[in-house]
């Protein structure tokens, strides 16, 4: 495969499996935001995922029949082959990366700021988005903005943890960075206490190591601002995918989290995720004011100088 040796490219890396519902919008979203090249690892999809990826000029497709639980190694391999020296996004097909003032400040400008401040990564909250209807009643049409049908999120119920150096034994990573967040709608509805923090944006080098799922990182200095990944897991295919993943047992700890989802779905098939803790998404200023995302004096000054120069 021929990939231009252009160090200025912003590159995105993604593992997918049967993501034809979300990929048309997700790929377009990232190209429109300033990503120059996308690398997709297809884990033996049976739908038209491959043709969707290949319909984009600067998208490269890889294929594997290996077990999904090894996806962290696949991403690591591609980052070391195609990501060294680049600003790289590592996201899933159901995640949309946002950051303070992203409505008016381009992704490349964010990367320039991080370079200027000598940061190598940006921490994000994995913000679960959901509809105001029973999940089986959601009608999401591929290619459309998922915020049109799933624009609610939990404004509170997040708990911080890991505030000191921690060795992640099963992934051999020494983590010493920003606090990790837990809770949200997953804990409130499904009883799952999974980590809701990720490092999706990295200026990658061979001395950087990411955990599977990018929840932890070693060897990268994290910015003082915090973004978010708008996460669109809870669409009309949620119930079907949960049952499939429970049967496959290829996610973390033999799909423990998916088993928690399935128990709740079996007990409450018409469940609605909205509660008194829910708020409808407006913009990134809202997420900053709620404390979900964070800005800094340096980032505010940088953004103000850019907006003034445009006027």
Q: Tens of pLDDT along 145-183?
A: 999 999 999 998 899 887 668 888 877 889 999 999 999
Q: What is the pLDDT of residue 163?
A: 63
pLDDT of residue 276 exceeding 80, the answer is yes
Confidence of residue 250 (pLDDT cuts 50, 70, 90): confident
For the segment 221-238, the average pLDDT, to the nearest whole number, is 96
Output the CA torsion sign for 70, 168, 242, 94.
Answer: negative
pLDDT of residue 241 exceeding 80, the answer is yes
| CB contact at 8 A, 13 and 37 | no
pLDDT of residue 286 exceeding 90, the answer is yes
Supply the mean pLDDT for the chain. 93
| CB contact at 8 A, 182 and 196 | yes
CA 204 from chain center: how many Å? 17
Supply 265's token pair. Answer: 């779905």
Q: Tens of pLDDT along 52-104?
A: 999 999 999 999 998 888 888 999 999 999 999 999 999 999 999 999 999 99
pTM comes to: 0.95
Q: What is the pLDDT of residue 228?
A: 98
Of the listed ranges 160-164, 209-213, 286-290, the least confidently predicted one is 160-164
Supply 8's token pair. Answer: 């200025």
Q: What is the pLDDT of residue 308?
A: 79
For the segment 185-194, the average pLDDT, to the nearest whole number, is 93
166 torsion bin: left (phi>0), alpha (psi -120 to 50), beta (else): beta
Select from 131, 123, 128, 262 the least CA-distant residue to 186: 128
Q: What is the pLDDT of residue 4?
A: 81
Q: Tens of pLDDT along 262-271?
A: 999 999 989 9
Q: What is the pLDDT of residue 137?
A: 86
- Phi, psi torsion values for 260, nearest 5 degrees: -65, -40
In Å, the largest CA–CA distance within the chain is: 56
DSSP 110-157: HHHHHHHTT--EEEEEEEE-B-SS-GGG----TTS-GGGT--EEESS-
| CB contact at 8 A, 212 and 280 | no
pLDDT of residue 311 exceeding 70, the answer is no
Q: Tens of pLDDT along 122-133?
A: 999 999 999 999
- Distances in whole angstroms, Cα of residue 216 to Cα of each of 231, 298, 301: 18, 25, 29
Give percent of the chain with pLDDT exceeding 90: 80
For the segment 177-196, the average pLDDT, to the nearest whole number, is 93
């Amino acid at each position: 495969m021929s990939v231009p040796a252009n160090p200025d490219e912003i590159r995105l890396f993604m593992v997918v499996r049967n993501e034809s519902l979300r990929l048309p919008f997700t790929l377009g979203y990232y190209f429109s935001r300033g990503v120059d090249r996308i690398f997709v690892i297809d884990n033996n999809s049976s739908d038209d995922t491959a043709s969707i990826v290949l319909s984009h000029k600067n998208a490269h497709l890889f294929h594997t029949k290996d077990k999904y639980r090894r996806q962290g190694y696949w991403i690591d391999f591609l980052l070391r082959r195609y990501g060294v020296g680049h600003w790289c996004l590592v996201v899933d097909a159901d995640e949309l990366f946002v950051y303070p003032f992203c409505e008016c400040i381009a992704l490349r400008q964010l990367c320039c700021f991080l370079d200027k401040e000598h940061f190598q990564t940006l921490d994000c909250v994995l913000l679960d988005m959901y509809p105001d209807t029973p999940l089986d009643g959601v009608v999401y049409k591929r290619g459309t903005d998922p915020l049109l049908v799933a624009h609610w999120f939990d404004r509170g119920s997040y708990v911080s943890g890991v505030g000191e150096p921690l060795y992640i034994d099963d992934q051999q990573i020494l983590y010493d960075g920003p606090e990790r967040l837990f809770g949200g709608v997953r804990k409130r509805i499904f009883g799952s206490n999974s980590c809701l923090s990720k490092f999706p944006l990295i200026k990658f080098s061979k001395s950087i190591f990411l955990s599977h799922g990018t929840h932890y990182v070693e060897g990268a200095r994290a910015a003082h601002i915090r973004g978010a990944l708008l996460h669109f897991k809870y669409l009309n295919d949620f119930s079907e995918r949960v049952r499939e993943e429970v049967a496959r047992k290829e996610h973390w700890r033999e799909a423990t989290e998916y088993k928690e989802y399935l128990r709740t779905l079996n007990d409450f098939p018409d469940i609605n995720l909205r509660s008194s803790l829910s708020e409808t998404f407006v913009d990134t200023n809202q997420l900053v004011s709620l404390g979900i995302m964070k800005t800094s004096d340096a980032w505010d000054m940088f953004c103000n100088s850019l907006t003034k120069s445009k006027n």
